[in-house]
Amino acid sequence: MLDEIAAALEPHGLVPRGGFVFGSLDRAPELADGTRAQSIVLVGHFGSSIWPHFSAWRRLHPNVADPLDSWSKRILNAIATQFGGSAVFPSDRPYLPFQQWAMRAEGLRPSPLGLLIHPQYGLWQAFRGALIFPQPVAFAPRHERGHPCDTCMEKPCLNACPVDAFDGEVYAVARCRDYLATEPGGTCLDGGCRARLACPVGRQYGYVSEQQRFHMAAFAGD
């Protein structure tokens, strides 16, 4: 089933990002029929893999609100139904613990910026949703990965923000947003978060310019 899910996601630039079977102590999300899910498959992207597909859809649907969420929902709701499950989404409230799920599914750990870091794709990856199922899905044993931040002595991500929004513990969101509203803040809005760009891991997977601008505008306007 996982191979078939991967094949259904592939034409959209999406990838399955691991999954797991919920334990009896987990607060599993609800399926469409109100019962608790037994298993979950996270879905996301690495680098700009979704961008050509999303952009093409957006040109056909220029007036849709929350376009990336709408695109993701259209695709993942259909694929979930095809495989007898439901879909849940990171931006829907109450927020579901996507990062905790991702740590469990893919073995990733958080960077000092709060974003999970992937040993290959670095900070240039995110989640578009998750497929949840009424039955336990058989997963291969998780591939254990190293955590790049453990061996990164300089931690350039913590020194690149012009307003020191990250101290490794807390992200000063208001300070970042205030800066984005100023003229010099246009550099981040245009080119992406400088703290994220400073990380050497997976740099070649950094988002294309249009995608950087899209995410930064969405974040600044939230």
Binding site for ligand SF4 (CB under 6 A): 111-112, 117, 148-149, 152, 155-157, 161, 163, 165, 176, 179, 188, 193-195, 199, 201
CB-wise, 33 or 144, nearer to ligand SF4?
144
CB-wise, 41 or 126, nearer to ligand B12?
126
Least distance in Å: CB of 21 to ligand SF4? 30
Least distance in Å: CB of 2 to ligand B12? 20
Phi, psi of 21, rounded to the nearest 5 degrees? -95, 130
Q: Alpha helices, DSSP H only, in the chain? A: 2-9, 51-60, 67-82, 98-106, 173-180, 186-191, 194-197, 209-221
What are the tokens at 110? 């958080």
Residue 138 neighbours by CB under 8 Å, 6+ apart: none
Instruction: Please name the amino acid found at residue 90.
Output: P
Pick one of 28, 99, 119, 152: the residue that binds ligand B12 (CB under 6 A): 99
- Regarding 115 and contact with ligand B12 (CB under 6 A), the answer is yes
The C-alpha atoms of residue 188 and residue 212 are separated, in whole angstroms, by 9
CA dihedral (220, 99, 202, 159) positive or negative: positive
Pick one of 53, 91, 163, 191: the residue that binds ligand B12 (CB under 6 A): 91
- Regarding 98 and contact with ligand B12 (CB under 6 A), the answer is yes
- Residues in contact with ligand B12 by CB under 6 A are 90-91, 95-100, 114-116, 125-127, 171, 173, 176, 193, 196, 215-216, 219, 222
